[in-house]
A and B are shown apart, each in its own frame.
Chain A
Amino acid sequence: MNLHCRVNEKEYDLEIKPHMTLLDLLREELGLTGAKEGCGEGECGACTVIMDGKAVNACIVLAAEAEGKEILTIEGLAREGTLHPIQEAFVEIGGLQCGFCTPGMVLSTKVLLDDNPNPTEEEIKKGLEGNFCRCTGYTKIIESVKVAADKVRG
């Protein structure tokens, strides 16, 4: 079947299988492997992408459901190699270890800060509750989000 959508500000007209997930589409058809498959059932958040401004688990969204949608993946966040302030904050604070959760964590942070530019620690934790991290114990991720909020507010 046919699919028309925008990914990282680029228009796509694609022929897809109806039983393909959005994650399969991004990773295997478009070569955007930044979104990871951890659990494949919407529990871990490693596949988080932003669809029409909202964080979603790409592993449980059908590619077909992206019809007419605007999708932002981690590859679309930095501009010509210049990191987004959220990415800068994660680098500076060390809010990452193995990096597998990082793309999803960064995108969840983006949606969190888009909706609430000055979150409390509790709001940060709640905003990231859908993203597993096994390495950091979350401490440095939460700190990264605080620093990111400062940077984004300017």
Chain B
Amino acid sequence: MEEYSVIGKRVPRIDAKEKVMGEAKYAADYSLPGMLWAKVARSPYAHAKILNIDTSKAEKLPGVKAVITGKDFNGWTWGFMATTRDESPLAVDKVRYMYEGVAAVAAVDEETAEEACSLIKVDYEELPGVFDPEEAIKEGAPVIHAYRANNVSVEYHWDFGDVDKAFADSYIVREDRFETGKVVTGFLEPPASLAYYDPSGNITVWAAKQSPYFHYRHLAGCFGLPLSKIRIIQPFIGGGFGGTKNDSVAGDFCVVMLSKKTGRPVKYVYTMEEVLTTCRRRHNMIIYNKMGMTKDGILTAIESRVIGNGGGYTAIGPLTMFLTGYATTLPYKLPNYRYDAWRVFTNNPVSAAMRGHGFTHTRFACDIQMHMIAEELGIDPVEMRIRNAIDNPKPADGYSTINGIKFKTCGLMETIKAATEDPLWADRDKMVKQEGPVSYGVGITGTTYQGGARQLGHQSCGAIVRICEDGTINLITGATDCGQGSDTVLAMIAAEVLGAKYEDISFKRVDTAYTPVDPGSYGSRVTVFAGQAVERASRDAKRQLLEAAGKAWNVKPEEIDIREGFAFLKDKPEKRMSFEKLAKIASYEGAGAVILGTGYSSYGVEELDFSTGTGNGGTSFSFTTQTTRLGVDMETGKIDVTDFTIAHDAGVPLHPVSVEGQNEGGAVQGLSQAIYEGFIMENGRTHNSTFLDYKMPRSTDAPRIKVIDIITDDPDGPFGAKEASEGSHVSAPPSVVDALHDATGIWFKELPVTPEKIVKALKDAGKWMK
């Protein structure tokens, strides 16, 4: 690999100083003169007809400026596909999950808005609800949406190879039921939105959106305005992880409608409890998994029947169910595969995307089931992984799965080698196995995740590189850094390509009125797509600079290069000038020029086919092998996860600090889904809707983490980059569950594996407190 000046260096994050000084402004930090505060009044029923809404008392409360209901939105609905637009900003005739928004108030201060909400009187006719997806698809279950009388919101049936024959020919076939938890992204910044609908017909919004251009389209549709009149100004984003901040939620629409009604700016800030009960959450999925193998532990076929608990509306569900099925053909060679999936409406809060989207469910099931078979066959699980692992193809040949997923690099085998040579695995038999009541275990897992995800609709990213006459640079993209470090990586790419100093790049956040349209931050796509756009825009700007330098030195532009803040003659490097001087020459040459470089991404222009399960969901795929060591208190079931080793093929880590940080954070979030987090639901009510009871990990719960980079230099990523974080997020739960098996001798197939579940399983196995 080429020696880079900026790429691969541990530079400080571009936003670090603002953030440590408390100067980074998030949506809730913005205010405007004359601003009103909004609040949404919500339904206490999970399934009910709305008979009448009386807002008169609320309207009369001093300080209240406007009250709206679902009818104010004139029947407008939104959703992922044209055929699934089933959700309105506020419920109109019917509520479909508990605490769905029904009305909203704008008042001079927030406490008045809150008081007014309690004065809104709604007459409901409560309907029988259905909360369990397997109940909801039974004949005679309460119907949640008239347009889907069987409550099936999305359905796929894919078949590749000859699954029945493969099972018949297999030495061993296992069938198990797995279930993933009811979990949420858990960002720390509650969604907030400040909107001004000016009377001349322009909307300006500061909102906590990790994909602001989704919101821009939603607002244009909802308010019947051209996109050019919608201006979303991007504040800093306090964590995204998919779902809620990739979509629009009730408050986002209500602030704009209330601003339209009052002619004043309106602000809404969610409470965390409101987030945990009304915002998007990950699908809870039931997976009936069937896996066949030869006597030697070679995979013959997988059949997955998946039932997704969809909640009250469709949202991004069609993509979720696609992703849950389509990548089961990775990261092990799979010749025969069948997938039957049903996303089911229930009277629960809406399920949507989250980090590790889709993959996390089936990878958990397949990885654990593979180890169960390894145990039955008496084959070492690492040996089994090696026998089935996809090799790193020659980039020119690539690899193609049975359902047409194609990629050019695969470091899976190297990750297995690195993870198993690491002392955490290699020395596991030398480490303490038992200490008082604590039994220790080590687990291993392997996974994949896509980098450069695409879905339906607009996919391309754009970038503008503006060279200032003093040699500093404004980098303008439509990409959003919601914490992952993409602003830093994009600035590094610009500096590397331009030959400028990293410190001279100033990154400008999204303002939909000025920045290029962009799909947003999801599916580990920003570095790949926006990165390619920045690379191209930087080359475009560099070309203009080289032309100016060539003129100044009277040589051909090809004879010159720029690196680390200096332009120089390739053959005679002592002939050089500073980037600053070059920028000045380029800008003032002749009658003067404006140096603007532009570029857009072109990776991955390929359609997905949801109905057949074919197509590439990503431009490239990361591969991970993760080992976990943990201790289980065999009397109380309490788990102490002490160590992770994550060998991860991210292509080339462009900013190693961010790649490590992404892998570490993704893994701890995954760990948490394995043992800590899970909503406790009863009849549509979320019982643990606070941070006290929805148990995200604290500093004291975090393991020591070692990240080992496996370099594969993918041709379909800028500077060889693929993805980081979603892989480790997907690999963590099975890795933890495998380690739990090592410690307890028990296979756990439902997440999260809480201390209570462990004690119950130990009791059932006659292993508790003897």
Q: Identify the interface centre among A99, A102, A106: most chain B CB within 10 Å of its CB.
A: A99
Interface residues of B in 6-44 (CB under 8 A from A): 10, 12-13, 15-26, 28-29, 31
Contact of A97 among B23, B485, B697, B705 (CB under 8 A): B485
B732 to chain A, nearest CB (A): 10
Q: Chain B, 454-491, contact with A by CB distance < 8 Å: what is the 0/1 string?
A: 00000000000000000000000000001111000000
Asked whether B608 is an interface residue with its Cβ less than 8 Å from the other chain, the reply is no
Contacts of A19 in B (CB 8 A): 111
Interface string of A70-97 (1 = CB under 8 A from B): 0001110110000100010011111011
4 tightest CB-CB pairs across the interface, nearest first? A34-B22, A98-B483, A100-B238, A137-B668
Q: Check if B22 sits within 8 Å of A40, measured CB to CB.
A: no
Say whether, besides A39-B691, A44-B272, A94-B12, A99 and B238 are in contact (CB < 8 Å): yes
Q: Which of B31, B240, B665, B700 has the most CB of A within 10 A?
A: B665
Task: Let me know if A39 and B661 touch, CB within 8 A.
Answer: no
Q: Judge whether A140 and B660 touch: CB under 8 Å.
A: yes
Q: Does chain B have a CB within 8 A of A116?
A: no
Interface centre among A32, A43, A75 (most CB of B within 10 A): A43
CA distance A133 to B17 in the complex (A): 18
Given the known A-B contacts A91-B17, A140-B660, A141-B699, are A37 and B190 also in contact in the complex, defined by CB atoms under 8 Å? Answer: yes
* Contact assessment for B188 and A132 in the assembled complex, using a CB-CB cutoff below 8 Å: yes
- Chain B interface: which size bin? 35 or more
- Asked if residues B690 and A41 are in contact (CB atoms below 8 Å), the reply is yes
A2 close to chain B: CB less than 8 A? no
Contacting residue for B19 out of A77, A99, A133, CB 8 A:
A99
Instruction: List residues 30-75 of chain A with CB under 8 A from any CB of chain B.
Output: 32-41, 43-44, 46, 73-75
Interface residues of B (CB under 8 A from A): 10, 12-13, 15-26, 28-29, 31, 111, 185-190, 236-241, 269, 271-272, 482-485, 657-658, 660-661, 664-669, 690-692, 696-700, 702, 704-705
Contact (Cβ within 8 A) A75 B22:
yes
Cross-chain contact B26 with A135 (CB below 8 angstroms): no
Given A91-B17, A132-B691, A135-B239: A142 touches B272 (CB 8 Å cut-off): no
Partner of A33, one of B20, B25, B705: B25
The CA-CA distance from A99 to B668 in the complex, in Å, is: 17
**Chain B hits for A37, CB < 8 A:** 28, 190, 269
Whether A39 contacts B272 by the Cβ 8 Å rule is: yes
Instruction: Evaluate contact between B16 and A94: CB separation under 8 angstroms.
Output: yes
Interface majority SS (helix, strand, loop, mixed), chain B: loop
Among residues of B, the one whose C-beta sits closest to the C-beta of A19 is B111
A83 neighbours in B (Cβ, 8 Å): 17, 20-21
What is the minimal beta-carbon distance from B54 to any residue of chain A, in angstroms? 28
User: Are B661 and A91 in touch, CB under 8 angstroms?
Assistant: no
Cβ 8 A contact of B692, one of A43, A77, A87, A133: A43
Q: Which residue of A lies closest to B238 (CB)?
A: A100
Q: How far does the alpha carbon of A43 sit from the alpha carbon of B24 in the complex, in Å?
A: 22
Whether the Cβ atoms of A125 and B669 lie closer than 8 Å is no
Q: Are A98 and B661 interface neighbours, CB within 8 A? A: no
B699 touches A129 (CB 8 A): yes
20 contacts between A and B (CB under 8 A): A33-B25, A36-B26, A36-B28, A37-B269, A39-B272, A44-B188, A94-B13, A94-B658, A96-B20, A97-B484, A98-B189, A126-B700, A131-B699, A134-B241, A136-B665, A136-B668, A137-B661, A137-B702, A140-B661, A142-B702
For the complex, is A101 an interface residue (Cβ under 8 Å from B)? yes
> In the complex, are the beta carbons of B485 and A125 less than 8 A apart?
no
Inter-chain contacts of A120 with B (CB < 8 A) = none
Beyond A98-B189, A137-B664, A139-B664: 20 further Cβ-contacts under 8 Å? Answer: A33-B25, A35-B22, A36-B26, A36-B28, A36-B188, A38-B190, A43-B691, A90-B16, A91-B12, A96-B20, A97-B665, A98-B482, A99-B238, A100-B236, A129-B700, A132-B188, A133-B699, A134-B186, A134-B696, A139-B705
